[in-house]
A and B are shown apart, each in its own frame.
Chain A
Amino acid sequence: MAAHRMHRGLVALSASAVAAIYLAGYLQTQVADSNIGAAAIPTLAAAQSAPVAAAPAATSSPPLQPVIQRPTQAPAKAAPTPTPGAATSSAQSQAAAAYKDGTYTGQGTSRRGDVWVSILVQAGKIANVTITRSTLQYPLRDIATLPSQVVQRQSARVDVVSRATYSSMAFQGAVAQALAAAKAA
C-alpha cells in the first residue's frame, strides 16, 4: 500500500485513502456492537470449495514449481503482462489431459437466471460444450460463442472476468462445476 508516485497522484491518493479507512477499524466496532457481521453469514450462498486443479500429481507437466515468486509488490504499471496470445496458447497445453473421459454436467447461477451445461471429455480433452438449459432473462445467443471458447482454451482457464455479465457468469459457473466433476471422476 506504500505510496507509489504517479504523475498527478490519484493512484497514490486512493492507496492512502484505503489504508486510512482500513486502519480506522470500522469492522471491530461494527462486528462488536451489532449483528451485521453475523448477518453476513447466511448470505454466503453458492459456496463451494474446489480442489486445486494442479495439485494432484496427475498432471503431465513437470512437478509443480514451488510457488511462483510474486513479481515484487510492484503495482500495475510494473507488473509483468505477458501478451495475451501467449498466455492463452500456453494455457492450452498445460490444461490438457487434466480431465477424465466422460460427459459431465454443471449448473451456474446468477442473479438473472441459471445456465446448465454438458461437457464431453474425450482423450482427456474437452471435446464439446453444450448449453443444455437456461433460465436467463437474456437470449442465449448472447453467450452462444462461449462453449467454443472453452473448447479452445481447454478449461475455464480464466480465473475471473472483469465486467462479466450475468449470462457469462452463470455459464462460467456451470463450466467450472462440470470440469470439477471431470477432474474428480
Chain B
Amino acid sequence: MRTTHTFATVSMDTDVTIQVVADQPRAVVEPAVQRALSWFETVERICTRFDRSSEVMRLLDQVGASVRISTLLFEVAAFALDLAEQTEGAFDPTVGARLEQLGFNLNYKTGEAIHSDDVGADSVSFRDVKLDRRAHTVRLRKPLILDLNAVAKGLAIDLAATELQSYAGVCVEAGGDLVVKGQNPTGEPWHIGIQHPRAEGMLAHTLDLTDTAVCTSGDYERRVGEGSGEGHIVDPRTHRSVTDLASVTVVAPTAMAADGLSTAAMVLGREQGLHFLASQGVGALLIAPDGTTLKVNL
C-alpha cells in the first residue's frame, strides 16, 4: 500500500520536515531520507558563518590570496555573487559582518556568540569577492564574512529532494521553504499554502504544484529571534531593514533560486522586485504590509 512517511529533524537552525510518498515500507525509505538529511549537515558545515572553522569562515585566514575551494562552496558563492551582480547589490552576500554586529551572531547548536573583530562591516561589497571558475578559487580582496544563508538553505533542500527523487512523491520543507516532487499523499499535485505575513496561521494563497520549489522571504518580525538572523532582511546598500514589502514568495525550479530571488525581491521592493522576478521567468506572489498582493506568472 502506498504510504506517506514523515521525518522531522532540526538542521541549519530550522525545522526540517521530509514527506515521502512511497510503496515501500518506512524501513526501506529511511536510509534514503538519512542521506537526504545529511545534505543539510554537509551544506551547513561548509557554509555556516557561525563557526569559525567552517570552510567559508576559514577564508578569513587567507585574505588577499586565491584559495582553492570545494565544489559546494564555489557553486554557492558563484550563484550568490551572480545574484548580487544582477540586482546591483540589492542582494549582497558580504553582509555577514554587518549581521553579526546587529546581533545575529549566535551559533544555535552551541549557543556561543561569534565575534569577528578583525572584520570591518562597512565598505565591503560583493565586488570584493573574486571567483575564478577555471582555477576553482576564491579571493577576498578585504576581510569580509560571506553570509550564504539566503541561498544555502535552498540548496540543501534541492539536494535532499534530488536524493529522494525516485519515490512517487516527495516534499522537503525547511523553515517554510520547500521542494515538492511527484504526487502528494492522495495522488494529486501538492497543495501548498502560502503563509500570510501579517496574520499568523492564515494562508494568503494556495498553489497546487509539483516538481518545483516554493520559497517565501518576509519580515515576519515576530519570528526574528535568538540571534539567528532568520526572518531579518537588511538592505545591503543602506543597512536598513526593508519595509516596502511584507513577504515575497517565489516559485522556481530550484529552491536555491527561489530562496535567493525572494530575498532579493524583498530588498528591491514592489516595483523593481516585480520587474526583476518577471525578467527571471519565475512565478511570484508579493504582499505589501497593507495586504496589497501582486502576482507574477501565477
Q: Hey, which bits of chain A sit against chain B, CB under 8 A?
A: 1, 4, 6-8, 10-11, 13-15, 17-18, 20-22, 24, 26-27, 30-31, 36-37, 39-41, 43-55, 64-65, 67-68, 70-71, 73-77, 79-82, 84, 87-88, 91, 110-111, 138, 142-146, 149, 157-169, 171
Contacts and interface: CB of A to CB of B under 8 A. Distances in A.
Interface of B: 1-10, 15, 17, 19, 21, 26, 30, 33-35, 37-39, 41-42, 70-72, 75-76, 78-79, 82-83, 86, 151, 154-155, 158-159, 162-163, 168, 171, 173, 175-178, 180, 182-195, 197, 199-203, 205-218, 220, 222-223, 247, 249, 251-254, 256-257, 260-261, 279-283, 297-298
B171 A160 contact: yes
B176 A76 contact: no
A26 B46 CA distance: 11
Contacts of B158: 14, 18
Nearest to B77: A17
A111 B188 contact: no
A11 B261 CA distance: 9
B195 A161 contact: yes
A55 B2 contact: yes
A50 B6 contact: yes
A18 B155 contact: yes
A169 B298 CA distance: 25
Contact of B209 (A45, A54, A79): A79
B200 A143 contact: yes
Nearest to A29: B42
A7 B185 contact: no
21 contacts: A8-B86, A14-B252, A17-B78, A21-B159, A36-B42, A43-B9, A45-B8, A52-B21, A64-B187, A70-B182, A70-B183, A75-B212, A75-B252, A79-B212, A160-B178, A161-B193, A161-B194, A162-B178, A162-B193, A162-B215, A164-B176
B8 A27 contact: no
Main DSSP-derived SS at the A contact region? mixed
Contacts of A157: 191
Contacts, number: 289
Contacts of A84: 205-207
Main DSSP-derived SS at the B contact region? mixed
B281 A7 contact: yes
A52 B3 CA distance: 5
Contacts of A138: 200, 222
Contacts of B213: 76
Most chain B beta carbons < 10 A, residue from A4, A47, A76, A82 = A76
Contact of B76 (A17, A26, A48, A54): A17
B86 A163 contact: no
Contacts of A49: 3-6, 26
A143 B203 CA distance: 11
Contact of B72 (A4, A21, A51): A21
A76 B252 contact: yes
B1 A55 contact: yes
